[in-house]
Chain A
Amino acid sequence: GAVVSQHPSWVICKSGTSVKIECRSLDFQATTMFWYRQFPKQSLMLMATSNEGSKATYEQGVEKDKFLINHASLTLSTLTVTSAHPEDSSFYICSARDIGYEQYFGPGTRLTVT
């Protein structure tokens, strides 16, 4: 099956710094990638949808200037959390879709902001 990787798998950063999370489709070209956030004991909440070569579409309530998404190639999307605060601590999960319906999920990145 299709494989999606994320890097890093976990990261700890200080408040006010920025963190970049990478999402890669390893064996297929992802025309669309999605970013989700999951707080403890809650469901996955869609943050944004990104298509290769175009600007990401953010869900209501998600600050685009704080969560910068870049989808520069068909196999890589990045999420940068800028000026991170403790409330940004969460599990960030990406998914990628090729031309079909199915979304393939990455293993997630645990972000802790101290």
Chain B
Amino acid sequence: GESVGLHLPTLSVQEGDNSIINCAYSNSASDYFIWYKQESGKGPQFIIDIRSNMDKRQGQRVTVLLNKTVKHLSLQIAATQPGDSAVYFCAGNQAGTALIFGKGTTLSVSS
């Protein structure tokens, strides 16, 4: 079945630095991926998504890269701010099925 995971459980950066959070997936049939941000005690908050027919998508201060060859995606956050501190999850699915979540990376931003 689908399996989505992240490479590192924690990431610590300085305010203003760029952050890169990585994720690997196992199901080559997955065609839709999302990055979520979750703050303590709250539900997941949508950040950015990407479909499998794309390899890059940019939002405000965030970029998602998808490498289907190695089944890897990453989330890049530019000029990281203290408010970006949270747990970040990648999730993927196939053809509208339920999203399957990876383990999560805790991003800590120090000022």
Contacts and interface: CB of A to CB of B under 8 A. Distances in A.
A83 B102 CA distance: 30
Interface residues of B, number: 22
Interface residues of A, number: 24
A36 B46 CA distance: 16
A105 interface: yes
B59 interface: no
Interface string A19-48: 000000000000010101000001111100
Given A101-B32, A102-B49, A44 B96 contact: no
Interface of A: 1, 6, 32, 34, 36, 42-46, 49, 91, 93, 95, 97, 101-108, 110
Given A44-B89, A46-B99, A104-B46, 11 more contacts: A6-B43, A34-B98, A42-B103, A43-B103, A44-B44, A95-B99, A101-B32, A101-B96, A102-B46, A106-B43, A107-B43
